[in-house]
Amino acid sequence: MQSIQKHTHLTNWLFFTAFMVFSMAVIGAITRLTESGLSMVEWRPLIGALPPLSAEEWQRVFTLYQETPEYQKKNFGMSLEEFKNIFFWEWFHRLWGRLIGLVYALPLLYFWISKKIPDGFRGKLLIGLFLGAVQGLMGWYMVKSGLIDRPSVSHFRLAAHLGLAAIIFGYLLWIAFDLKRTNKAETTFCIKRHGWIATALVFLTLIWGAFVAGLDAGLVYNTWPLMGSQWIPNELTALSNIFTEPVSVQFFHRWIAIVTGVIVLTFAYRIKSFPLAGMVFLQIGLGIATLITQVHLHMAATHQAGAFILLGICVSALHQQYRR
């Protein structure tokens, strides 16, 4: 108990930062669903934290947006007021990212100077800082893909951006659980391997969800369990299409989600985790609801939130299989 109390501030800080990353994923989903991600065409890490504060500045950033492929090919004729609506979500998304950086870096500096970081954790916490910096660059790298000759971002870069967010989220949780050092009876290698496979499949399903979002693949078939009147649609012609063709991407996301659900459920049964099992059913239900509502904003954002919650529960359940 003394060990747990000793690191309470560190664990609370890491859990709070992980919650902010989770919130960032939901904000990012709304940004994508409202097609707001390409409204800010400048990368200004410092002064970009402030939104336009004058009519002249609003007109300047709107003029820059009017030169992008998205405006010219999809939003031609958009008014300044309409532009302000989509600008807000991308600005808020970037602002939240900056806040995460501050919430992580400033306490880390304090804990480091005050020598409150236990042995073996300094390097791990610096890796977290590095991952956060890489994520910021990845976000801009993603946005750049939609500013040259296409009216949308690369779905591969979108998946990389979301995937890195999921890695950071899980990594912060794992370190926080390490710091708590709760004593658990060590389980067999077989159960640990099962847990790692389950967690990896949740991550893979999340990545394909990003592919679905990036290609608007959630809009091609909005029926369940059949795709139209077929289990396997005619458009599904080649395995390579599961990376690039909307129908194939949706098909793969559907069935990898079912496989993932089965693997995670059996893991939950073996370790007797009701929260993990319950979240599997809830997340599958959210996925189906997102599909049949034709990717309704609130439903789709909740589905992405559910993916991160499921991932977090998986990480927690897996960590409990190790002796601390």
- At 150-166, the pLDDT tens digits run 888 999 999 999 999 99
* Total number of domains in the chain: 2
pLDDT tops 60 at residue 17: yes
Considering only residues 239 and 83, tell me which one the structure prediction assigns the higher pLDDT: 83
pLDDT tops 90 at residue 185: no
The domain boundary residue, chosen from 182, 214, 230: 182
pLDDT number for residue 5? 47
Task: Specify whether 97 is located in the same domain as 212.
Answer: no
Average pLDDT of the chain? 92
pLDDT number for residue 253? 96
The domain boundary residue, chosen from 182, 200, 217: 182
pLDDT tops 90 at residue 44: no
Task: Specify whether 174 is located in the same domain as 291.
Answer: no
pLDDT number for residue 43? 84
Task: Specify whether 20 is located in the same domain as 146.
Answer: yes
Phi, psi of 54 (to 5 degrees): -145, 160
The domain boundary residue, chosen from 141, 159, 182: 182
pLDDT number for residue 32? 93
For residues 180, 185, 186, 190, the Cα torsion angle rounded to the nearest 10 degrees is -120
pLDDT tops 80 at residue 54: yes
Q: What is the pLDDT averaged over residues 138-152? A: 89
pLDDT tops 80 at residue 25: yes
Task: Specify whether 191 is located in the same domain as 167.
Answer: no
- Structural domain of 4: 1-182
Q: What is the pLDDT averaged over residues 63-87? A: 93
pTM of the full structure: 0.93
CA 41 from chain centre, in angstroms, equals 22
Alpha helices, H only, the chain: 2-6, 8-33, 55-66, 69-73, 80-113, 122-144, 155-180, 189-214, 246-271, 274-292, 297-319
Task: Specify whether 129 is located in the same domain as 244.
Answer: no
Task: Specify whether 307 is located in the same domain as 275.
Answer: yes
Task: Specify whether 165 is located in the same domain as 228.
Answer: no
pLDDT tops 70 at residue 71: yes
pLDDT tops 90 at residue 116: yes
Task: Specify whether 176 is located in the same domain as 242.
Answer: no
